[in-house]
């Protein structure tokens, strides 16, 4: 960012592939209904809300376009998804389970050691 320039809000784009929107996944799971709420569990030594459900690729287009392209190319049409959210609303664990060309595949992501919230001043000028 150039000195004196202003902050601008930008929508997520396809070039952000690889950067899943985990809050978006949580919204998709919650939209499947009350059965998505699996209850509180201990995850990484802290309580976390467990969400789970079955999602179709059409649902994922808005939250994870990179995964959408990859799954489509491999013939995946839907998958099971689990998400654990801590008391501060942060995703601490994420799992996807699917069959890729007849082979069971599991993707697991764990998050931790978040550290303090970073604060900074927005640039001035414009």
Look at residue 59 and tell me whether its pLDDT is greater than 70: yes
85 located within any domain: yes
Look at residue 12 and tell me whether its pLDDT is greater than 60: no
106 located within any domain: yes
**Which is higher by pLDDT, 30 or 125?**
30
Cα separations in angstroms, 87 against 17, 40, 42, 50:
27, 10, 11, 11
pTM of the model: 0.77
Look at residue 4 and tell me whether its pLDDT is greater than 90: no
Q: How big is the chain, counted in residues?
A: 126
Look at residue 18 and tell me whether its pLDDT is greater than 60: no
124 located within any domain: no
119 located within any domain: no
83 located within any domain: yes
User: What pLDDT shows up at residue 126?
Assistant: 57
The number of domains in the chain is 1
Structural domain boundaries enclosing 85: 14-110
How far apart are the C-alpha atoms of 88 and 83, rounded to whole Å? 14
Look at residue 16 and tell me whether its pLDDT is greater than 70: no
pLDDT, mean over the chain: 86
- Percent of the chain past pLDDT 70, that is, above it, reads 84
Find out whether 51 and 30 touch, Cβ atoms under 8 Å: yes
């Amino acid at each position: 960012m150039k000195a004196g320039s202003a902050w601008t809000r930008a929508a997520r784009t396809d070039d952000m592939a690889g950067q899943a929107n985990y809050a978006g996944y949580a919204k998709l799971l919650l939209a499947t209904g009350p059965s998505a709420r699996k209850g509180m569990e201990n995850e990484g030594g802290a309580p976390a809300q467990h969400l789970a459900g079955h999602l179709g690729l059409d649902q994922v287009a808005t939250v994870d376009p990179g995964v959408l392209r990859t799954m489509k190319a491999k013939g995946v049409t839907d998958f099971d998804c689990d998400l654990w959210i801590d008391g501060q609303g942060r995703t601490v664990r994420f799992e996807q389970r699917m069959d890729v060309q007849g082979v069971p595949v599991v993707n697991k992501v764990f998050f931790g050691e978040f550290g303090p919230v970073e604060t900074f001043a927005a640039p001035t000028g414009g």
